[in-house]
Amino acid sequence: MRAIARLALAVALLTVSLSVVVLASQAATQEAPRTIDPTRFAKDFEDFAAEDKATPPPEGAIAITGSSSIRRWHPTMKEDLAPLTVIPRGFGGSTMEDALYWIDQAAIQYKPRAVVVYEGDNDTGSYHVPPAKIAEQFQAIADKVHAALPETRVYVVSVKPSVSRWATWSEAVKTNELLQAIAAKEPLVTYIDVATPMLQPIGEVMTDIFVEDNLHLNPKGYEIWSAAIKGPLMKGEAQYEKAAAGMSMR
């Protein structure tokens, strides 16, 4: 009996040892956690500064910042949002933490009448930042804007759905709910829903509105995106456009 007990113990120990080896091997092959370093965008803002020097943007406009969905919109943004006066300041690959770090250069320095922020896509889909943290960082952005410009309105665009990041869509939904809750209690903050128009009636994301990577928008996608954003901006900002135009001529 003792021999059998010793054999059983040896087998158990061997099983545990093999499990430890397997887990250690899996851990060694996993990609190291990615960290967010806002200073990686220094060159982008050097380029924006050079652009501003060559063509100073007007005060009293609408500064629009965010990740690659904003950056890729730059070529047609002004036309798509006309007659609103906008300053495109997207920097691809960014997160809400990055936007908080750069919000002075991306928006506040221009003394805009409104600021539009689109972040959360990379946060939830790439860096796996908790929704509560993203919302906290957005609140800090709004607070920073209002500390410098008390009457400036802030618009936060919902995280968009995409085919490539559908696995993390539930986290994006939680993020959107928290961003919407901030807007509900902040008089100068407005939530813009771009997600709903990009979903099919069955609740899944449309598949024909993206380029080949299934993440970034194609022209059809930007038609939906532009309309979803322009509607609320026209409602809140069109009445101030004539005054903004006057300021830009000074």
Residue 8 lies in a domain: no
Q: For 49-61, what is the mean pLDDT?
A: 97
Residue 125 lies in a domain: yes
Q: What is the CATH number of the domain that holds 233?
A: 3.40.50.1110
List Cβ neighbours of 198 (8 Å cut-off, separation of 6 or more). 160, 161, 205, 206, 209, 221, 224, 225
Give the closest residue to 115 by CA, choosing from 92, 86, 140. Answer: 86
Helices (H) and strands (E) in the chain, counts: 10, 5
Instruction: State the Cα–Cα distance between residues 124 and 183, nearest whole angstrom.
Output: 20
- Taking only the tens place, the pLDDT of each residue in 124-158 is 999 999 999 999 999 999 999 999 999 999 999 99
Residue 105 has pLDDT above 50, yes or no: yes
Range of the domain at 136: 38-248
Q: For 208-233, what is the mean pLDDT?
A: 98
Q: How far from each other are the two terminal CA atoms of the chain, in whole angstroms? A: 98
- Taking only the tens place, the pLDDT of each residue in 154-199 is 999 999 999 999 999 999 999 999 999 999 999 999 999 999 999 9
Instruction: State the Cα–Cα distance between residues 101 and 137, nearest whole angstrom.
Output: 10
Alpha carbon of residue 137 to chain centroid:
11
Report residue 35's pLDDT band, with 50, 70 and 90 as the boundaries.
confident
List Cβ neighbours of 154 (8 Å cut-off, separation of 6 or more). 114, 115, 116, 117, 141, 142, 145, 146, 186, 188, 189, 190
Residue 178 lies in a domain: yes
pLDDT at residue 248, rounded to an integer: 52
Residue 249 has pLDDT above 50, yes or no: no
Give the other-Cβ count within 10 Å of 222's Cβ. Answer: 18
Q: For 66-77, what is the mean pLDDT?
A: 98
Question: Taking all residues of the chain, what is their mean pLDDT, rounded to a whole number?
Answer: 88
In the chain, % of residues over pLDDT 70? 83
Residue 24 lies in a domain: no
Report residue 31's pLDDT band, with 50, 70 and 90 as the boundaries.
very low
Residue of higher predicted confidence among 171 and 244: 171
Give the other-Cβ count within 10 Å of 160's Cβ. Answer: 27
Residue 7 lies in a domain: no
In the chain, % of residues over pLDDT 90? 82
pLDDT at residue 244, rounded to an integer: 65
Residue 16 lies in a domain: no
pLDDT at residue 242, rounded to an integer: 74
- Cite the beta strand spans of the chain per DSSP E: 62-66, 86-90, 114-118, 153-157, 189-192
Residue 75 lies in a domain: yes
- Number of structural domains the chain divides into: 1
pLDDT at residue 6, rounded to an integer: 46
Using CA atoms in the order 154, 131, 222, 88, what is the torsion angle rounded to 10 degrees? 40
Question: Locate tokens 């410098």: which residue?
Answer: 148
Report residue 24's pLDDT band, with 50, 70 and 90 as the boundaries.
very low
Residue 168 lies in a domain: yes
Radius of gyration of the chain (CA): 23
Across 164-176, b (16+ Cβ under 10 Å) vs e yields: ebeebbebbbbbb
Count the helix, strand and coil residues of the chain and give each as a percent rounded to the nearest 5: 60, 10, 30
